[in-house]
Amino acid sequence: MASSCSFTSPLCTWLVAACMSFTCGSRDPHQPPSVLRRYTNNKREGLSAARRRKLSAKCGVGGEVVNGSLVSSFSGSSHSIQSLMASCLPFEPCNEYYSSVSSLGFFGDNGFSSFFGSNNSTATLNRRQRRLRLNRVTRSGEAMAVAVQPDEEVTTKKKPHMKQRRVVVTGMGLVSPLGHEPDVFYNNLLEGVSGISEIETFDCTSFPTKIAAEIKSFSTDGWVAPKLSKRMDKFMLYLLTAGKKALADGGITEDVMNELDKSKCGVLIGSGLGGMKVFYDAIEALRISYKKMNPFCVPFATTNMGSAMLAMDLGWMGPNYSISTACATSNFCILNAANHIIRGEANVMLCGGSDAAVIPIGLGGFVACRALSQRNNDPTKASRPWDINRDGFVMGEGAGVLLLEELEHAKKRGAKIYAEFRGGSFTSDAYHMTEPHPDGVGVILCIEKALAHSGVSREDVNYINAHATSTPAGDIKEYQALIHCFGQNRGLRVNSTKSMIGHLLGAAGAVEAIAVVQAIRTGWIHPNINLENPDAVVSTKTNFMIYDVQSNATCYASLVGQ
């Protein structure tokens, strides 16, 4: 209709829309409202004259209106707006149509013509004249007709019901302050080993905070080309290494890689802060001259380039991007990657997060926020979630990557399955940049939506790896939200991996997801160290305990007997 009215004025277009909003006769409401047919000079398609008369009779007989319905359209005529509008119709309009047109106040002997400043007026044509004019127009090939009743019944084919695709974890890779292999990492967690110590990579004597969960020894040998290792930011080196380790852990050998549909393989690994070291070095070089700047400083500073470089290295052509949502980055990436698989857009996804912000500008920025612990004399005791003496979080660095795969795809290639990803949720407090909402509504909503999406009842949840960063406000609000959602769960265990590895920022969710998968695999839950004097709120008796032992809501489950 839009194409046939492109020449009309705004008023005419409005009238077309208004008139076309009605239907004619007692049409079956389940049938399509209209079918467009085009007329040509050589061959006329559409309704026969007899059919037009039949449809005309349905609209009105002897001044009687059926269901008070109207159908109208426009066509070109230089004499009368009424005949102009009627000439497009493939059948005779009903009486109600003409009376409604006249009631607009623009029509009559002079009404509409004087509205446009014309001195010509035309008497209303009788029915026979209008019918003859209609036949002449339709034979000339200058009109579009609207058939209220289609010649044949249109049937809509329903899409066959598709069983929802299931997503499983088939590989894990990480670079962390407690080891670069999942088993080494988790054994250290079970032993209660802390990865927090004094910062060694730069002089931090002028900073009030001198500690972090720093990666002391790390090598890219066998994982990243030496040439790239010298140019890339550490967050990219961590990401590439962890990603390739996840592939190796998942049994994606060269032979398996050759069999994969690369268009259904994607990478979604985010970063909270991106290439801060590369960007910081570029600023320092700019103080001397732009000629001293690294030509790769811009691309290697962006958060998406790590995923892009890994995808290029693997030749994977599926979904490829990154998400940056601070400490929720990894969980956003994991849930979005799972959704790509569920929707059939991918069969295999590498997902997670990476950050390397333990550098002067990163440390200085968080110090300025007054967010960091200053327990420099005892670094291993600095991160103490839920303890009454906590004084801020401890920065960490590293990367965590999960290999997610569609269940049948994984079974077909004989992959080992660690756990099943059941679902998750995204919410926002919409309250403050860093402070949680006083009522914890964002966290509660996120948990409830995650449970609903995953189809897991809250009574079935027996372990939660909490966000718990060791900040005064954040720990308590999250704890109260957990009480609200799971206060009746007897035997529920809660812990914080950050008590030993600090806050890995954008990598936190993925590294902690690996800890959750390892707990499912081994049946052992790591302790929450440094909880010596629980906060008064936490000391309140509940049915669950913090094992002593993120609105980041994602649900995993063991895949026993599947």
Q: What pLDDT digit, counting tens, does each position of 318-355 carry?
A: 999 999 999 999 999 999 999 999 999 999 999 999 99
Residue linked to tokens 């005949």: 83
Residue 193 has pLDDT above 70, yes or no: yes
Q: Which amino acid is at 90?
A: P
Assign 472 to helix, strand or coil: helix
**For position 536, what pLDDT does the model report?**
86
Separation CA 397–CA 474 (nearest Å): 20
419-424/493-495 β-pairing = unpaired
* 83 contact partners, CB below 8 Å, separation of at least 6: 77, 122, 125, 130, 133
Separation CA 21–CA 25 (nearest Å): 14
Q: Which residues pair with 387 in a beta bridge?
A: 534
pLDDT digits (tens, 9 = 90+) for 92-121: 555 554 555 444 444 444 444 444 444 444
On whether the CB atoms of residues 344 and 165 are closer than 8 A, the answer is yes
Residue 134 has pLDDT above 60, yes or no: no
Neighbours of 221 (CB within 10 A): 8
**For position 182, what pLDDT does the model report?**
97
Q: Which amino acid is at 23?
A: T
Q: What is the pTM of this model?
A: 0.70
Separation CA 516–CA 518 (nearest Å): 5
Q: Per-residue pLDDT averaged across 398-420, rounded?
A: 97
Q: Per-residue pLDDT averaged across 528-539, rounded?
A: 89
**For position 161, what pLDDT does the model report?**
57
Residue 35 has pLDDT above 70, yes or no: no
Task: State the pLDDT confidence band at 158, using cuts at 50, 70 and 90.
Answer: low
Q: Which two tokens stand for residue 29?
A: 């409401």
**For position 490, what pLDDT does the model report?**
84
Separation CA 155–CA 31 (nearest Å): 9
**For position 130, what pLDDT does the model report?**
52
Q: Which two tokens stand for residue 241?
A: 């290494």
Q: Per-residue pLDDT averaged across 503-512, rounded?
A: 97
pLDDT digits (tens, 9 = 90+) for 242-285: 999 999 999 999 999 999 999 999 999 999 999 999 988 898 99
Residues acting as catalytic residues: 327, 467, 503
